[in-house]
Amino acid sequence: MHWLTSRQCAQGRCQAHCSYTCEGGRKKHFASQASDRNGFEYQCVKLNDGHFMPVLDLAPMVPKSKALEATKLAIEAGFRHIDSAHLYNNEEQVGLAIQSKIADGSVKREDIFYTSKLWCNSHRPELVRPALERSLKNLQLDYVDLYLIHFPVSVKPGEELIPKDEVGKVLFDTVDLCATWEAMEKCKDAGLAKSIGVSNFNRRQLEMILNKPGLKYKPVCNQVECHPYFNQRKLLDFCKSKDIVLVAYSALGSHREEKWVDPNSRFSGGPSLCALAKKHKRTPALIALRYQLQRGVVVLAKSYNEQRIRQNMQVRSGAVGLRVCFFFSLSSFAGPPNYPFSDEY
């Protein structure tokens, strides 16, 4: 995994600035701090397909009414990696924010790394490209930088995100995820997505894709719940061994939207994080984010509060096995063979 700093390194102009440090027997490639065209400093990780991903990401997983302003604030604060999804029902607003900051000269399109995701009702191969094209239309973009299979459980196609029968049981679909992946590869070949990856996949499911006959592109990343109280050490080690970047959502172990997180399992830092925060005169959130970056994990920061968005950008300068994001852990999702959380990792 190669960690590079700023757009200069992403363009291959880092040779004079770089040094190597060794971590766990592996060499990691770092570059000295540099700035983009507007003076913002940020680090990038080189993906296994040669593209570059900023290591700190804003995920505006917020109501439509707040997504526009949150995304604008994030870009103004220096975020260059924006993560959303069809499931979040706010890509139109996120797209308007990106277009607004391009129009006022704050950024160019190539400065923004945008991630979208394929929802479970579009796993059938013939539905993959139309789903991506719908997101692109809502975003007013010609391509996304990264497109992910959002969750490995398939549900029946249609407009309903989670279709249910008359008694409230989820209507699952039977889809070969290897066929879904082949359709994702075609989207990359068509230039609609620069990179492709997965989310919420366990080791067994990653191996299924990696061992697929005729594999053209392997996943560049796996986006999963990961925070100091659920550190995904085994999955992280496996992903590193396959040159797959681990991207952490719920990196602070909490979220404001109750439909995503069990309100009884939120944490505000815990004694260890709070002690470190006090020692280093930082917030527990910044300590948690820094912890992930030092492990080689790309971090999603979710907020629509201006002060917290700006604080989270400052991250640049104890595992207890606790999942807090329970949307995908609901018992209604747990039936099919592709449910990922039954395995250890």
- Residue ranges of domains in the chain, CATH in brackets: 32-257+268-322 (3.20.20.100)
Q: How far is CA 66 from CA 63, 70, 100, 249, 250, in A?
A: 6, 6, 15, 19, 19
Task: Please tell me the distance from the alpha carbon of residue 169 to that of residue 171, in angstroms, as a whole number.
Answer: 6
Tokens 């080189």 locate to 46
Taking only the tens of pLDDT, the chain with its 345 residues reads 444 444 433 344 333 233 223 333 343 433 323 345 555 566 899 999 999 999 876 776 677 888 999 899 989 988 899 999 999 999 999 999 999 999 999 999 999 999 999 999 999 999 999 999 999 999 999 999 999 999 999 999 999 999 999 999 999 999 999 999 999 999 999 999 999 999 999 999 999 999 999 999 999 999 998 887 778 889 999 999 999 999 988 766 555 455 544 544 445 556 666 777 778 777 777 776 777 777 778 887 765 455 554 554 454 443 444 444 445 555 567 677 788 877 877
Phi, psi angles (nearest 5°) of residue 324: -115, -20
Question: Mind listing the pLDDT tens digit for each residue in 226-242?
Answer: 887 778 889 999 999 99
CA–CA distance, 159 with 266 (Å, rounded to integer) = 32
What pLDDT is stored for residue 275 in this prediction?
Answer: 76
What are the catalytic residues?
A: 88
CA separation for the pair 288, 251 (Å, rounded): 7
Closest Cα to residue 209, out of 235, 236, 242?
Answer: 242
